[in-house]
């Protein structure tokens, strides 16, 4: 099972403020909106228009030490894309990008989704290596490569 060790022991919102992506007022508005509507704080911040998906993904990668990968120009082979069923990839907002030996590398929007990682391990019988990417990039890659 995957274990998460924060590289930076601060909440995502605080990292976004410290990096100048959002200000304290925006963070408080996002936390209030999250309290009422639910969801992940990063998603709420994007929905409110305070930051871009790339900003959130980059700060998540800093927070947890996972590398950030833009999938915009990334080519994924049919052999790799077929490792994970499209419905699973869509449900968890992730996409396989490479496999070396028994290690499957995936790009995920939410690298903290332990259930997703456990399911991938069960489905693929592989160790899972994580990269962080944006939900839009992942959805685009799923559509672009799984329908070929």
Q: What is the DSSP string of 54-85?
A: HHHHHHHHHHH-PPB---TT----HHHHTTS-
Query: Do 82 and 53 fall within a single domain?
Result: no
Query: Do 19 and 58 fall within a single domain?
Result: yes
44 in any annotated domain: yes
CATH classification of the domain holding 89: 3.30.300.160
Query: Do 60 and 116 fall within a single domain?
Result: no
**Integer angstrom CA distances of residue 61 from 55, 88, 105:** 10, 23, 15
5 in any annotated domain: no
| Each residue's pLDDT tens digit, 124-148 | 999 999 999 999 999 999 998 876 5
Confidence band for 68, pLDDT divided at 50, 70 and 90? very high
The span from the CA of 19 to the CA of 1, in Å, is 32
Q: What is the pTM of this model?
A: 0.82
22 in any annotated domain: yes
Q: Which domain holds residue 19?
A: 12-64
Query: SS3 for 108?
Result: strand
108 in any annotated domain: yes
Check residue 2 and give its pLDDT. Answer: 45
| Each residue's pLDDT tens digit, 97-125 | 999 999 999 999 998 899 999 999 999 99
Check residue 6 and give its pLDDT. Answer: 57
| Each residue's pLDDT tens digit, 2-14 | 444 556 678 899 9
Strands 94-100 and 127-132: unpaired
Torsion of CA 81, 98, 120, 88, to 10 degrees: -30
């Amino acid at each position: 099972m995957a274990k998460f060790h924060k590289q930076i022991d601060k909440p995502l919102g605080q990292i976004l403020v410290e990096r100048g992506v959002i200000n304290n007022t925006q963070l408080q508005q996002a936390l209030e909106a999250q309290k009422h509507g639910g969801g992940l704080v990063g998603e709420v911040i994007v929905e409110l228009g305070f930051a871009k998906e790339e900003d959130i993904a980059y700060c998540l990668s800093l927070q947890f030490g996972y590398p950030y990968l833009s999938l915009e120009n990334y080519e994924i082979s049919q052999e790799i894309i077929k490792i994970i069923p499209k419905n699973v990839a869509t449900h968890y907002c992730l996409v396989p990008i490479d496999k070396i030996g028994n290690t499957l590398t995936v790009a995920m929007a939410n690298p903290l989704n332990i259930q997703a990682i456990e399911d991938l391990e069960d489905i693929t019988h592989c160790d899972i290596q994580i990269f962080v990417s944006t939900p839009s990039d992942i959805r685009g890659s799923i559509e672009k490569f799984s329908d070929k």
